[in-house]
């Protein structure tokens, strides 16, 4: 006759050990962080809105602990703000903040382009160029949102050619913070056409390894004028609060 398991043996076979519990907790924190970050990227929290931790926890079927951990990380990432004794608030939108992010992006990409001309192999250059050229036909693109993601991927790929990990990480952080505005800026066909032509000019400079000329093109391509920053911020606010672009 088979021996009946003791209560201790039964518990050992059914209950996860401490390491497994810690692993599950870490997975939960990462999942919650990823979900809340996506909400913040898309401005699902309205600018200046107080973020209700208890409500988020209930929606995600978790305790408030991983929610608070995620919000603390998102504060470091630049997506939320902490007000002492009040809690977490969604990031605001202003023309100056939009312009400053694009200026920072231009500085990183300009420096990365110079390094790419010096360090990238011919094969790496052509692989990066080919990935972008698959998106060259505007008429066949089904969504300007997809075009914006392709644009983001192209600029990330250019920066990876610099072989500078810190520049790549910096641009990734900036790109997430401007993704909402990048999509709005590319909604109109004239702007998309202009962007595609500028990409073609940048690619030609890259093939020639023209660091000076290409860096200048990158800066002109990315930097927003004050007037354009006002326009993008205004359209962004209209999209968030009224569901339309102004």
127 pLDDT exceeds 80?
yes
Alpha carbons 54 and 47: distance in angstroms, whole number: 19
User: What average pLDDT is seen over the chain?
Assistant: 88
**Chain segment 160-201, per-residue pLDDT in tens:** 999 999 999 999 999 999 999 998 888 777 777 888 899 999
Q: What is the DSSP string of the chain?
A: -PPPPPHHHHHHHHS--HHHHHHHHHHHHHHHHHHHHHHHHTT-SPTTPBP-HHHHHHHHTS-HHHHHHHHHHHHHHTSEEEETTTEEEEPP--HHHHHHHHHHHHHHHHHHHHHHHHH--HHHHHHHHHHHHTT--GGG-S-HHHHHHHHHHHHHHHHHTTT-HHHHHHHHHHHHHHHHHHHHHTSSHHHHHHHHHHHHHHHHHHHTT-HHHHHHHHHHHHPPPHHHHHHHHHHHHHHHHHSS--
Assess contact for 32 and 60: CB atoms under 8 A.
yes
Q: Nearest to residue 53, comparing CAs of 78, 72, 76?
A: 72
User: What domains sit in the chain, N to C, each tagged with a CATH number?
Assistant: 7-90 (1.10.10.10), 95-242 (1.20.120.530)
- The number of beta carbons lying within 10 Å of the beta carbon of residue 226 is 10
- The pLDDT of residue 142 is 56
Q: How confident is the model at residue 20 (pLDDT cuts 50, 70, 90)?
A: low
**Chain segment 202-234, per-residue pLDDT in tens:** 999 999 999 999 999 999 999 887 788 899 999
């Amino acid at each position: 006759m088979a021996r009946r398991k003791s209560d201790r043996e039964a518990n050992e076979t059914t209950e996860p050990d401490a390491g497994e519990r810690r692993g599950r907790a870490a997975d939960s924190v990462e999942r919650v962080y990823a979900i809340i970050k996506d909400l913040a990227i898309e401005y699902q929290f309205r600018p200046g809105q107080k973020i209700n931790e208890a409500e988020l926890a209930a929606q995600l079927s978790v305790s408030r602990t991983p929610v608070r951990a995620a919000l603390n990380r998102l504060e470091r990432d630049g997506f939320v703000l902490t007000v002492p004794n009040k809690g977490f608030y969604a990031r605001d939108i202003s023309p100056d903040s939009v312009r400053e992010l694009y200026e920072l992006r231009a500085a990183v990409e300009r420096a990365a382009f110079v390094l790419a001309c010096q360090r990238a192999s011919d094969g790496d250059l052509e692989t990066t160029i080919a990935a972008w050229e698959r998106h060259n036909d505007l008429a066949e693109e089904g969504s300007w949102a997809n075009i914006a993601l392709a644009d983001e991927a192209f600029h990330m790929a250019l920066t990876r050619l610099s072989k500078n990990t810190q520049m790549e990480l910096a641009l990734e952080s900036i790109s997430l913070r401007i993704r909402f505005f990048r999509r709005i800026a590319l909604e109109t066909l004239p702007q998309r056409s202009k962007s595609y032509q500028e990409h073609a000019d940048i690619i030609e400079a890259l093939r020639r390894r023209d660091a000076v000329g290409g860096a200048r093109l990158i800066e002109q391509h990315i930097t927003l004028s004050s007037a354009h920053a006002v326009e993008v911020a205004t359209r962004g606010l209209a999209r968030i609060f009224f569901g339309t672009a102004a």
